[in-house]
Amino acid sequence: MTAKEQQIEAAVAAGEIPGLILLATDTADKFHYERTIGSASLKPGAERPLTLDTTLTIASCTKIITTVAVLQCVERGQFGLDDDVSTVLDELQDLKILKGFEEGTENPILVPAKNKITLRHLLTHSSGIAYDFLDPNIIRWRMSTGRTPDIGESTPLLQRTNLPLLFEPGEGFVYGYSLDWAGILVARLNNISLEDYIQKNICEPLAITDLTFHLEKNDEVRSKLADFNFRSGGITQFGTPADPNGSISWTPGRVWPDPVVEEYGGWGVFTSGPSFLKVLASILRNDEKILRPDTVDEMFKDQLSAASKEMLNATLSIPEINNFLGGTPLGLQKTWGLGGLLVLEDHTTGQKAGSLRWAGLPNLFWWIDRKVGLCGFYASQLVPTGDPKSVEWSTVFIQDMYERVEGFGAQV
């Protein structure tokens, strides 16, 4: 056991962070790290240990799976990255941009969008479509139109996302429902549910048997579901913990309803850590099981316009928002690839420029580094998201994996 692994284990034992599933592997399929620490539930009288087959709510880690599904459609010639998505998603025609509110009133100023939303815009969060519950202007717009700000996932997606844009498509960056729309695009192009599409085209090639949007259809996956934990001390205006040292305890309920109304391509998957790692490893190894090599190469290219990249980096310069949106190292230049954030500079953890990475709401973090040949997954089930302690300890884990793989390579 390395010193860093001992430190992580001690942090879990002390209640500083909840139970963890820690996974990593390399390009050559020779280095493998699998570790579970702590409990799948802190519910008094119902404590149970985490195991590798524990079911996780992976939230926005779903986005890279949906991205793979969409890119498969591009490979088949069903749709182009720069095609207008409103030709299939007719709900995204005739969009308006929210420019503010008339002075002294709650009357919104809405102007027609000049640009069309392309598939590339959806995959890079440069469409102008925000999460309504995260943006104060969209919340204000909802209130001004008599609509309650909607943070309940029981509402169908097509009702949730009937929202104005925040900027011209392709000219900004905002985290939002774009990948949910991309999931609907996959379903409509193939006349099949997103669940069935992913089962056939991603799960089967990778021998994944425990991934689903629908717990109500898979009792075995549901029976292994980890509970959520909550850090006490309140929440900041950005939705992150107000007290990073607050105590952690079991919290009832789930983030998503059960059963779900529909399949959210941006946040709806349940699966185990090793199964999710199979997706990352397939991309890292460019093994052609789910995507062609040229498509994988495209995932690791800068996809943003100068204006979108500027807005992304300005957004992530605020520590609380940076923690909320992926927990990437502060001060490094970043852009968006296809499927995740692309870090443009080397980091002290050992992670190299060109690494793709992202996160999930219950403080999950993944990365793929093709230069070093390493991918990994730090998985907890802790809310609120953007937990500073989780960002800190996930960084320790990442550094430990880079040190281990370097030592492993020297031994080999």
Q: Which residue has the higher pLDDT, 210 or 252?
A: 210
In terms of Cβ atoms closer than 10 Å to its own Cβ (0-12, 13-18, 19+), residue 193 is middle
Alpha-carbon gap, residue 87 to 84, rounded angstroms: 6
- Three-state secondary-structure class, residue 383: strand
Distance of alpha carbon 344 from alpha carbon 356, whole angstroms: 10
Name the CA dihedral angle for 322, 324, 327, 333, rounded to a multiple of 10 degrees.
-30
Cα 213 to chain centroid distance, Å, stands at: 15
The C-alpha angle with vertex 19 and arms to 226 and 228, in degrees rounded to 5, equals 40
Mean pLDDT confidence for 11-33: 97
pLDDT of residue 133: 78
For the chain, state the CA radius of gyration. 20
Residue 368 has pLDDT above 50, yes or no: yes
| Cα-Cα end-to-end distance for the chain | 19
* One-letter amino acid for residue 291 of the chain: L
pLDDT tier at 412 (50, 70, 90 boundaries)? very low
Q: Are 67 and 369 in contact (CB under 8 A)?
A: no
| 205-229: average pLDDT | 96
Proportion of the chain above pLDDT 70, given as a percent: 96
Within 10 Å of residue 216's Cβ, how many Cβ atoms?
11
pLDDT tens-digit readout, 306-364: 999 999 999 999 999 999 899 998 989 999 999 999 999 999 999 999 999 999 999 99
Q: pLDDT tens-digit profile of 247-269? A: 999 998 777 778 887 899 999 99
State the average pLDDT over residues 34-58.
96
The single residue of 60, 308, 380, 394 carrying the catalytic annotation is 60
Domain boundaries, the chain: 3-72+208-410, 79-190
**Bridge partners (DSSP) listed for residue 383:** 230
- The pTM (predicted TM-score) of the whole model is 0.96
Mean pLDDT of all residues in 198-226: 97
Active site residue 60: yes
Mean pLDDT, the chain, integer: 94
- Write down the CATH superfamily of domain 3-72+208-410: DD-peptidase/beta-lactamase superfamily (3.40.710.10)
Taking alpha carbons only, the member of 252, 236, 123 closest to residue 183 is: 123
How does pLDDT run across 112-163, given as a tens digit for each residue? 999 999 999 999 999 999 988 788 898 899 888 877 655 555 666 776 667 8
Tell me what the mean pLDDT of segment 50-76 comes to.
98
Q: Which of 28-37, 120-129, 326-335, 395-404 has the lowest mean pLDDT?
A: 326-335
CA–CA separation, 17 vs 238, rounded Å? 20
Q: Region 195-216: what's the mean pLDDT?
A: 97
Q: Cα separation of 151 and 134, whole Å? A: 9
Question: How far is Cα 343 from Cα 357, in angstroms, rounded to an integer?
Answer: 8
Find where tokens 């959520």 sit: 228
**The token pair that represents 368 in the structure block:** 């793929």
Q: Do you know the residue count of the chain?
A: 412
Tell me if 333 sits within 8 A of 304, measured CB to CB.
Answer: no
- Answer with the residue of higher pLDDT: 291 or 159: 291
